[in-house]
Amino acid sequence: MSRLADLGRAGQAVWLDFVDRGFLHEGGLKTLVAEDGLTGVTSNPSIFEKAMGHGDAYDEGFGTFLGKADASVQDTYESQAIADIKAAAADLRPVYDRLDGRDGYVSLEVSPYLADGTEETVEEAQRLWAAVDEPNLMVKVPGTKAGVPAIRQLIADGFNINVTLLFSIPAYQAVAEAYMAGLEARVERGEPIDRIASVASFFISRIDAQIDKAIDARVKSGDNEADALKALRGKVAIANAKLAYAWYQQMIASPRWQALAAKGAMPQRLLWASTGTKDPAYPDTLYVDQLIGPDTVNTMPPKTMVAFRDHGSVAQSLTADLDEARHVLAEAERLGLDLAGVTEALVPDGVRLFADAADALLGAVAGKREALLGDRLNSLEAALPDALQQAGKKRLETARAEGWARRLWREDASLWTGGDEARWLGWLSAARGNQVDPAVLAQIAREAKRFRHAVLLGMGGSSLGPEVLAEILGSGEGSPVLHVLDTTDPGQIATVEAQIDPAETLFIVSSKSGSTMEPELLRAYFFDKSGRRGDHFIAVTDPGSGLEKTARADGFAHVVPGDPAIGGRYSVLSAFGMVPAAAIGIDTHAFFEATAPMVFSCGGDVPPAANPGIRLGAIIGEAAVAGRDKLTIVTSPKLRAFGGWLEQLLAESTGKEGRGIVPVDLEPLGQPDSYGEDRLFVHLTLAGDSDDDARLSALRAAGQPVVTIRIARPDLIGQEFFRWEIATAVAGAIIGIDPFDQPDVEEAKVATRKLVDAYEQAGKLDPETPLAETSDFALFAPAGTTGDAASLLRAHFAALEAGGYAGFLAYVERNEADAAAIAVMRAAVRDRRHVATVAGFGPRFLHSTGQAYKGGPSGGAFLTITRDPEPDLAVPGRKASFGTVQVAQARGDSDVLAARGRRVLRVHLKAGGGGIAALRDAVIAAL
């Protein structure tokens, strides 16, 4: 007869500390039951990681889940774990039935991520219990501080519980107390207690591993108690267990337990866990031989089981030599081996080890999902210099150990500054399409078909996302074409006006706050132009805003609410992006479906290294703190508009407190020697689109960091919105700022408002005296600057230092010709001064990159470009025209930049002069 079966006859149940699909399928467990009298199975996250995290044995099972866009890796893993546990439960069911519930259990552990939460643990145990749905399941709950009350409640609620991670006698006593209290609660409620099973898993080898380590260190250092110390090697854990059992025997004899036993209660057996020897110097059956006694369990890894079957010895060892056990513990104490400290530390250590295993497993499942999704998930490759590669890797490991993915989705503000960040995370769930009402979108899509044009009036987060959607996806058949007006430039307004007929145009007024000046002026302007046709207007705004009131009063066709828990720049997957998208006939349902693989791949259950958003965030965040803070956006032609959206997200989120990322968009690609050490290139490319591959390869070859994101189809652009939102939030955590506020934007608004108010009073703006002028332009700068136009321009660019950047802030119409002239100036400055260059059209950039220019890294030198609007446009009900407001915005912003110590030179292009082309030539000459 098997020695293992002899253990059973000695009163000790033999359990297997192992689960594996192949083993179960081949009938391995059934054989152990039949031949060795095995009566139970335990699992833990490490065991499942070994089973599922390697090889392909579970691929078939994973495949049924992972192919779906919205499968979570946690659910996928769990489905397979549960299948194995159910299979083991079925194999053990005859034992359970034969022993009338006294044994025959299989254990499944609650998530180690929950070990600090009582409520969460209770809920998780209930959930697993329902999911496995087998009477011979034991849910494993750690005996941590938070676990003990959970155990009490779960027992009271009638669940079978295996308490895990017990190392010390006091911790075990607390658990035994919780078990009795739970049973007593049932008795009090008149509920049965005779079918509730529990074991207390007392860990063995991990204690010796720690104590022995301390012993060896002291012996090595020549401790004068070396012999006494050596004598304790491999003894302390067993002595500790023996005394725990002695306490168990007393407890069982107590009147309190006897009263429960009289009502049919089953004792909570001590289960010896961690019984595989870790030190090869020890006999491999040590932690079985020495711990044999009635009403106990030993759960053994397969190797230990094989060894015991071969040469284990069965004797009532647990109650033998108790005095010796006491002596061992007394000696340990005398020698200062600090058993209490060791066992206390082993609890969080055990939780961490299981969490590490769970991370490894979830990471492996996520990897399989990525492979299965193929090009349904946008890919990311990073060619990075060594130092950045290492920093990113290290960051991902810290992020994993600190649970960043989970904490982000749990809305834990301590990831950032511990301020009000949790109030701004509505974009996470919005990415699943939860913020928008599909019926409203469908109605808007239907109604919009009667219009030929749609004009979106909004700034920053309210306009840049819709512009990307319109540019990259375009309008559906029979749906209007979208024009975005995010300006006060009279020329630009006139250009759009010339392209539309207000009678055939739907106007979408988008403003979260509902109080932003530009959309308010534009609304007033076009409302008049439309003949005050409210039914041609839709408002998208946060509930209760001023815009909502106006829209209702003016009978707008729809007032679609935003989510106040989403900031403007994170709002594209909410109503702010989806209403315009629906209006131009984009199938928003299909859009969210195409976006879902990224949303789920960036989930809280996907550890950082396998999480595409966190991976990117680690790269851009580490790059920024290492001085590579000019994130240079390079897109294939069809993705061009995306850069404008991304600029706002990065700049407004991270550029504050003198830190952050300065995005560089639409700067023509140069030769490697044009660039300094402050760049991180991000290349977004759409399959089939053409790229400047030669220049990009040259950059990579020159050691510049290049991240490449490949997008298989235009409708997968939604994935990049979400990936970059996650990445930005993560980069914010690395940089150490609140990525959801924009503290420096307000100041320019206040300065502008002052100027406009003064104009409303006086009918003119304060006169200014130019510092210098040519026939083409006049130059303005803060007091103290002198010289002629050429020397002022020369000094402006000469002041740029490595790591600084040149800004071109143009308060002119945003058209191809002006953009091209600015691009030439940028390339020239970049090539001659080796600094990054940025450009923005005002006032559009004020609601986007303006935050970083004022609040982000210093070192920017800004050339602000204005011109007299010709012709100007009046705003209904106001003295100040659009042109006046635009000039006031330019002046207000320049003043604030200067007040922040930024170098600012304002160039006012004269009417009848050579315009921006003349400025371009003057700038090139000045370099």
Ligand X SMILES: O=P(O)(O)OC[C@H]1O[C@](O)(CO)[C@@H](O)[C@@H]1O
Ligand Y SMILES: O=C[C@H](O)[C@H](O)COP(=O)(O)O
Catalytic residues: 140
> Please, which residue, 203 or 722, has the CB nearer to ligand Y?
203
What is the footprint of ligand Y within residues 15-44 (CB under 6 A)? 17, 42, 44
- Regarding 546 and contact with ligand X (CB under 6 A), the answer is no
Q: How far is CA 472 from the centre of its chain?
A: 26
> Please, which residue, 277 or 462, has the CB nearer to ligand X?
462
- Regarding 285 and contact with ligand Y (CB under 6 A), the answer is no
Q: What are phi and psi of 840, to 5 degrees?
A: -150, 150
Q: Which does 516 bind (CB under 5 to 8 A by kind): ligand Y, ligand X, none?
A: ligand X
Q: Which does 548 bind (CB under 5 to 8 A by kind): ligand Y, ligand X, none?
A: none
Counting beta carbons within 10 angstroms of the beta carbon of residue 827, is it exposed (0 to 12), middle (13 to 18) or buried (19 or more)? middle
- Regarding 461 and contact with ligand X (CB under 6 A), the answer is yes
- Regarding 488 and contact with ligand X (CB under 6 A), the answer is no
- Regarding 242 and contact with ligand X (CB under 6 A), the answer is no
Q: Can you tell me which of 239, 273, 383, 459 binds ligand X, judged by CB under 6 A?
A: 459
Is 469 in contact with 516 (CB distance < 8 Å)? Answer: no
- Regarding 791 and contact with ligand X (CB under 6 A), the answer is no
**x/- map, 732-771, ligand X, by CB under 6 A:** ----------x--x--------------------------
Element (H, E) at 253: helix 236-253
Q: For ligand X, which residue has the nearest CB? A: 568
Q: What are phi and psi of 174, to 5 degrees?
A: -65, -35
Beta carbon of residue 549, minimum distance to ligand X (angstroms, whole number): 15
Q: CA distances (Å), 894 to each of 661, 727, 809, 861, 862, in order?
A: 21, 31, 10, 11, 9
Beta carbon of residue 163, minimum distance to ligand Y (angstroms, whole number): 10
Q: Which stretch binds ligand Y (CB under 6 A): 112-120, 203-211, 237-245, 249-257?
A: 203-211
Beta strand 860-867 with 558-561: parallel, antiparallel or unpaired? unpaired
- Regarding 517 and contact with ligand X (CB under 6 A), the answer is no
Q: Which stretch binds ligand Y (CB under 6 A): 111-119, 202-210, 507-515, 667-675?
A: 202-210
Q: Which does 274 bind (CB under 5 to 8 A by kind): ligand X, ligand Y, none?
A: ligand Y
Count of other CB atoms within 10 angstroms of residue 381: 10
Q: How many residues bind ligand Y (CB under 6 A)?
A: 13
Q: Which stretch binds ligand X (CB under 6 A): 305-313, 332-340, 513-521, 869-877?
A: 513-521
- Regarding 568 and contact with ligand X (CB under 6 A), the answer is yes
Q: Which stretch binds ligand Y (CB under 6 A): 18-26, 197-205, 424-432, 513-521?
A: 197-205
Is 540 in contact with 574 (CB distance < 8 Å)? Answer: no
Q: Can you tell me which of 107, 274, 290, 516 binds ligand X, judged by CB under 6 A?
A: 516
901 closest CA partner among 866, 855, 863: 855
CA dihedral of residues 369, 375, 377, 381 (deg, nearest 10): 100
Contacts of range 242-245, beta carbons closer than 8 Å, 24 or more positions apart? 242/291, 242/318, 242/319, 242/321, 242/322, 242/325, 243/169, 243/322, 243/325, 243/326, 243/329, 244/169, 244/172, 244/202, 244/270, 245/270, 245/293, 245/296, 245/318, 245/319
Q: Can you tell me which of 368, 512, 630, 679 binds ligand X, judged by CB under 6 A?
A: 512
Q: How far is CA 349 from the centre of its chain?
A: 25
> Please, which residue, 96 or 645, has the CB nearer to ligand X?
645
d(CA 455, CA 536) in angstroms, rounded, equals: 10
Q: Name the packing angle between helices 575-583 and 464-473 (round to 10°).
A: 40
Q: Which stretch binds ligand X (CB under 6 A): 332-340, 460-468, 614-622, 661-669?
A: 460-468
Secondary structure string (H, E, C) spanning 489-526: CHHHHHHHHHHCCHHHEEEEEECCCCCCHHHHHHHHHH
- Regarding 848 and contact with ligand Y (CB under 6 A), the answer is no
Is 445 in contact with 583 (CB distance < 8 Å)? Answer: yes
- Regarding 644 and contact with ligand X (CB under 6 A), the answer is no
> Please, which residue, 12 or 201, has the CB nearer to ligand Y?
201
Beta carbon of residue 518, minimum distance to ligand X (angstroms, whole number): 8
Instruction: Provide the residue type at 32 as one letter.
Output: L
> Please, which residue, 42 or 635, has the CB nearer to ligand Y?
42
- Regarding 76 and contact with ligand Y (CB under 6 A), the answer is no
- Regarding 284 and contact with ligand X (CB under 6 A), the answer is no
> Does residue 201 sit in helix, strand or coil?
strand
Is 887 in contact with 810 (CB distance < 8 Å)? Answer: no
d(CA 353, CA 361) in angstroms, rounded, equals: 12
Q: What are phi and psi of 170, to 5 degrees?
A: -60, -40
- Regarding 603 and contact with ligand X (CB under 6 A), the answer is no
- Regarding 652 and contact with ligand X (CB under 6 A), the answer is yes
Q: How many residues bind ligand X (CB under 6 A)?
A: 15
Laid out side by side, the sheet with 537-541 consists of: 481-485, 453-457, 505-510, 537-541, 558-561
Beta carbon of residue 645, minimum distance to ligand X (angstroms, whole number): 11
Beta strand 137-142 with 161-166: parallel, antiparallel or unpaired? parallel
- Regarding 273 and contact with ligand Y (CB under 6 A), the answer is yes
Q: Which does 118 bind (CB under 5 to 8 A by kind): ligand Y, ligand X, none?
A: none
> Does residue 296 sit in helix, strand or coil?
strand
- Regarding 298 and contact with ligand Y (CB under 6 A), the answer is no
> Please, which residue, 151 or 662, has the CB nearer to ligand X?
662
Q: Can you tell me which of 164, 168, 864, 886 binds ligand Y, judged by CB under 6 A?
A: 164
- Regarding 852 and contact with ligand X (CB under 6 A), the answer is no
Q: What are phi and psi of 417, to 5 degrees?
A: -100, 0
- Regarding 564 and contact with ligand X (CB under 6 A), the answer is no
Q: Which stretch binds ligand X (CB under 6 A): 231-239, 453-461, 698-706, 774-782?
A: 453-461
Is 742 in contact with 748 (CB distance < 8 Å)? Answer: no
- Regarding 460 and contact with ligand X (CB under 6 A), the answer is yes
Percent helix / strand / coil, the chain, rounded to 5: 55, 15, 30
Is 271 in contact with 202 (CB distance < 8 Å)? Answer: yes
Q: Which stretch binds ligand X (CB under 6 A): 291-299, 386-394, 506-514, 617-625?
A: 506-514
145 Cβ contact partners less than 8 Å away, ≥ 6 residues apart: none
- Regarding 299 and contact with ligand Y (CB under 6 A), the answer is yes
176 Cβ contact partners less than 8 Å away, ≥ 6 residues apart: 200, 248, 251, 268
Q: Can you tell me which of 12, 274, 550, 632 binds ligand Y, judged by CB under 6 A?
A: 274
Q: Which does 17 bind (CB under 5 to 8 A by kind): ligand Y, ligand X, none?
A: ligand Y
Q: For ligand Y, which residue has the nearest CB? A: 274
- Regarding 160 and contact with ligand Y (CB under 6 A), the answer is no
Q: Which does 460 bind (CB under 5 to 8 A by kind): ligand Y, ligand X, none?
A: ligand X
Beta carbon of residue 205, minimum distance to ligand Y (angstroms, whole number): 6
Q: Which does 459 bind (CB under 5 to 8 A by kind): ligand X, ligand Y, none?
A: ligand X
- Regarding 475 and contact with ligand X (CB under 6 A), the answer is no
Q: Which does 206 bind (CB under 5 to 8 A by kind): ligand X, ligand Y, none?
A: ligand Y
Count of other CB atoms within 10 angstroms of residue 820: 13
Q: Can you tell me which of 379, 513, 785, 791 binds ligand X, judged by CB under 6 A?
A: 513
Instruction: Provide the residue type at 632 as one letter.
Output: T
The contact set with ligand Y (CB under 6 A) reads: 17, 42, 44, 46, 164, 201, 203, 205-206, 273-274, 276, 299
The contact set with ligand X (CB under 6 A) reads: 459-462, 511-513, 516, 519, 568-569, 652, 742, 745, 847
